[in-house]
Structure 1
């Protein structure tokens, strides 16, 4: 928490600190380097310390004027402050960043860059972990020097997304346990400085046309120019949605040419990108293809497929509370999509897994893969998960019915985690895919981290990396248990939206995934405020809007 910077205190008079080379404390000079210009000052809340920002240094003093530490700055420190709890010095620099430094030694804790467009922003730690608004990952990166004989290299934050995009960590970085949380993540995932120093980055070259037209097929060819470290995989995105390719059948070797035939692409302008990702989670710069797919002369009508999973009866008694409606909600949601999809899509495969049918992550994934075999590119697919969800080290996990928590490592192995969910979503070729998560964290199911903010950040990470449309609510136990209208609050709002309460296109009567998200975003906070005097804010990100159901003729 920050108030206006304090520049005066009883018995402490600071003068000539703004745009001067000779600032003073109680009439005595504060020695600076020759030509070092002072720009800003702030006194701590207790009056026992003050910070001086200059063109070259961030300087921290005792009340008596003794210099405790100084840190080099990335640009003139135009503004400084000390947090009310006395833990951080905060400085606004000429490079456009705001940075938090430890009061104890001046070391940087986190940096924040708000872009001048007032839309994009990015925050990061010195270890490389970051959070960013959509489109902001290209704003920062790392310049690697290779000596006089080789050109330098720039690695953008986007190339490090696989490992270092950790919004849950950034959301808690300034908490009292922020250092411990960061240390645990670094021990598991690494430090960006060490990872980038541990060998070359992957590089690939596009051999197939970068802009062309197609009848629905395209042969994507790339040459591997340079491998990175560890195991490698090629990651394909179509319209920013992660799609599983056939790369795994071909060896990745330096100089080798890799071919992936893409078939049954949805009509319209398709934007493809491909990256080579190594075992460290470092990706090559993406190769991009603009592909205009011509409509086929005839094609089967699109179908709507649904996989709805709901668990109420958990084997672990620690999970017995908080999900009273999950199994029935899954059945209700599947039926609602079947009814509402008529007139927009032909009936597709609909599968409901409740309680014992959702015993393990293998059972859920097997059901998803079986449906995926039936899905075509122009179809639509809905994945609905209800029950318990949990965040561990920044990743989202859905808890199947038979999971029993014994330790954190086993939980990660047994629960359906973000990586497995991403793989399932990538295996589904539908260009229209919606993920719906109505999961809560049991207060008695003890795992590191906290529900709410951690869960929402982990869900956001899943959406951003997979690229799929996602609407979710990370509810607390009380909301899920008591619910609304015989359903969990989130699902109640979803069912109302599907029944026609969400806005529809006036010409067609179709309700889009964006309209669903907007309706849920309005209704869930209103319901929770009315029932519990607390607003639950859903997570909704639908980057590519598409119709999902038709508004009933009677308006409901």
Structure 2
């Protein structure tokens, strides 16, 4: 048995990857699991090894993500009757507790757990068992209960194996090391806290794993995924988990953040179905049937994105010339043609360059000339194979050349915006009170920025009857044609947002028909494509998760905003995205505020005529993207009594975006 620390905690990334390997094969014997770990620690796997890591691809927490330390605070580990809500400690002594509401796709952090019914416990030191209909049971006892004279292997007092034991005393190890576990009140599930920092749901009838949850302790972003890799995540949470794809004949595996395979595996609908069906295969069938989709059985390693890395210049290096040579290594693991290599400057797309060679499987070194501004920058490269996009390779460069400005570079940027709000819909059942006013008030706050950081502010404001789908599309075209690389472009949408059976997001224009969303509403794909094409820095504000009269109580918050935020703010798009709420929460508006909570916080943060800008946290006279996020998050929670949680995802370096007027 390998050594464990006194406190049950996540260990090295190598360990986490092996736990991930178990996702595709939960029947490892303890000796096989230990042998697999040793092989990974000795240098990974190759075509000669027979360890479980030889499987082509597995999902696991990404190396570098800071995992939770569960510690001894077993009383803080609580599960609801049906297993759709749980609480678990985020530190050794349980002083901070995460509250994960599965059905709302929402994680909050509490100083102490709120009261709700506790389930039967099989935590440290207990010898409780959970019978099932097949005459076997699960146990996490340090030694295990005696069955027909047999006991489990010895283990540390605060970490133990989870196994099934049948009526004849035969055992099967489900997890060699768990910190503690609990059974749901309905007896269907055991939820275990693993020592790799994950929480996992097991079916009690046979111990099969159904779901895994990982929370990054640095920023509370999370991801939940099935054994086959279908996932749902918080905004910004996609890159906390990754696919490990072993390379035949190589000791080094490839790692692809979940976002790289978003198109296929981002399926919150499947994840939500798993705890209903208690079977991943049935969950996939039910979700695909509802969405009218067919199952994709293509092996993961047959459609992988390209891999690109920058060889020169090095990270932190100095440059003196506006035109520099960039050497990079390019590889297509699946042998798919590489269409383009794109340049990103400070996270925003700059231009595409055709690779010198396409369709190669081996590594190839290429060189391209890239133009830089005369300032410190973050240079990024990404490669595309059709819809597949590589992870962005980045280096930070220090400018040590001339700082003399060219003729047009001394000008201040301009602020452009498309500001939309709909309260009075043609569909009378969708009426809101303050969405149109939100748009007008936010536009007024932006106009006050003229003469500060921006030499001018130009806005297209569409409220109520003006906000037709055609007018919104034409305004986005105007925005694309107007902005330059020096400017800042803003898109603000207030009103109703809905998702269809395929989890596609739609913003409802004043003339949208809920029965014909594809033809009458602004879809999330179009919004992402339009904002990505903007030459400027881009900020998107979404205040769209309202529940209307026609949606009914059961549909309140039914639109999951997380997937849209992740799509807009992915590294290849570079869009800073603010959303009024998280997961399936409902955005709130109130007469006492005169706005929606989100927009009220925005306006207070930026300042209005005669009103101090509250988001200038450091008192430096400017408001950065991060400072605005901090203010809005705390203020909205204050306004709504903690029932609404705004989010911001920023795939680009932080930058000043607003000026504070005295």
Q: Which secondary structure does the structure 1 equivalent of 2:628 belong to? A: helix
Query: For 1:87-486, what aligned pairs fall within 5 Å after superposition?
Result: 87-93=188-194, 95-113=196-214, 122-130=223-231, 131=233, 137=239, 140-144=242-246, 146=248, 153-158=253-258, 160-163=260-263, 166=266, 168=268, 172=272, 176=276, 183=285, 194-198=298-302, 201-203=305-307, 213=319, 225-226=331-332, 228=334, 234=340, 236=342, 238=344, 241=347, 243=349, 245-246=351-352, 253-254=358-359, 265=373, 267-279=375-387, 281=388, 283-284=389-390, 286-292=392-398, 295-298=403-406, 299=409, 300-319=411-430, 321-322=431-432, 324-360=433-469, 363-392=471-500, 393-406=502-515, 410-412=516-518, 414-431=520-537, 433-446=538-551, 450-452=555-557, 455-465=560-570, 466-474=573-581, 479-480=588-589, 482-486=590-594
Name the SS for the 2:176 alignment partner: coil
Q: How far off its partner does 1:347 sit?
A: 0.5
Query: Retained in 2: the 8 A contact 1:227–1:278?
Result: no
What are the superposed Cα offsets for residues 257-306 of structure 1, whole Å, 9 maximum, x if unpaired? 99988667483222313132444x4x445433444456452412122222
Pick closer, same or farther for the CA change 1:427–1:184 going to 2, 3 Å: farther
Partners of 1:262 and 1:539 lie apart in 2 by 34
Match of 1:46 in 2: none
Aligned to 2:185: 84
Q: Distance in 1 between matches of 2:434 and 2:392?
A: 43
Runs of at least 5 residues in structure 2 that lack an aligned partner in the other structure = 1-77, 80-117, 132-136
Q: Could you give the per-residue CA deviations for residues 86-112 of structure 1, whole angstroms, max 9, x where no partner exists?
A: 221223445554321122333211123
Change (3 A) 1:263 1:382: farther
Alpha carbons of 1:182 and 1:230: their partners in 2 closer, same or farther (altered >3 Å)?
A: farther
8 Å CA contact retained: 1:238, 1:271: yes
User: What is the rounded CA distance, in whole Å, between the counterparts of 2:512 and 2:239 in structure 1?
Assistant: 36
Other-structure match for 1:50:
none
Query: How far, CA to CA, are the matches of 2:237 and 2:543 in structure 1?
Result: 27
Q: Does 1:37 find its partner at 2:141?
A: no
Q: Could you tell me which residue of structure 2 aligns to residue 44 of structure 1?
A: none
The separation in 2 between residues aligned to 1:212 and 1:381, in whole angstroms, is 30
**Do residues 524 (structure 1) and 644 (structure 2) align?**
no
Equivalent-residue separation in structure 2 for 1:449 and 1:412 (angstroms): 23
Task: Check the 8 A contact 1:40/1:77 in 2, yes or no.
Answer: no
**SS of the residue aligned with 2:580?**
strand
RMSD value, Cα: 4.6
Separation (CA, whole Å) in 2 of partners of 1:447 and 1:137: 35
8 Å contact 1:39–1:78 — kept in the other structure? no
Displacement of 1:82 in angstroms is: 1.5
Match of residue 47 from structure 1: none
For the residue of structure 2 that corresponds to 1:455, the secondary structure is: coil
TM-score by length of 2: 0.64
The separation in 2 between residues aligned to 1:364 and 1:11, in whole angstroms, is: 57
| Distance verdict in 2 for CA 1:194–1:66, change over 3 Å | farther
- Give distance in 2, aligned partners of 1:510 and 1:205: 35
Secondary structure, aligned partner of 2:598: helix
How many equivalent pairs are there? Answer: 511
Report the CA distance between 1:155 and its aligned residue: 3.5
- Alpha-carbon distance between aligned partners in 1 of 2:553 and 2:288, rounded to the nearest angstrom: 16
The question of whether the paired residues in 1 share the 8 Å contact of 2:209 and 2:227 is answered with yes
- What's the offset of the Cα at 1:40? 10
CA contact (8 A) 1:517 1:541 kept: no
- SS for the counterpart of 1:29 is coil
**C-alpha distance in structure 1 between counterparts of 2:130 and 2:656, whole Å:** 68
Query: Any unmatched runs of 5+ in structure 1?
Result: 42-52
In the superposition, the TM-score normalised over structure 1's length comes to: 0.74
Structure 1 residue 128: deviation in Å?
Answer: 1.0
Indicate how the Cα distance of structure 1 residues 284 and 101 shifts in structure 2: closer, same or farther if over 3 A, else same: same
Call closer, same or farther: CA 1:344–1:285 in 2, change over 3 Å.
closer
> C-alpha deviations, 1:128-171, integer Å up to 9, x for none?
1333785883664223353xx56674242346353367485598
Whether the aligned pair in 1 keeps the contact of 2:637 and 2:644 (CA below 8 Å) is yes
CA contact (8 A) 1:221 1:258 kept: yes
Check whether the contact 1:129–1:166 (CA below 8 A) recurs between aligned residues.
yes
Residues 1:102 and 1:40: Cα distance change in structure 2 (over 3 Å): farther
Distance, in Å, in 1 between the alignment partners of 2:129 and 2:322 is: 76
For 1:264 and 1:404, locate their aligned partners in 2 and report how far apart those are by CA, in whole Å: 46
Q: Separation in 1 of the partners of 2:381 and 2:239?
A: 16
User: For residues 132 and 328 of structure 1, do their structure 2 counterparts lie closer, same or farther at Cα, with a shift above 3 Å needed?
Assistant: closer
Could you tell me whether the CA contact under 8 Å between 1:236 and 1:275 is conserved in 2? yes
Further displaced range: 102-111 or 88-97? 88-97
Alignment CA distance shift 1:452-1:252 (3 Å): farther
Equivalent residue in structure 1 for 2:645, among 525, 528, 537: 537
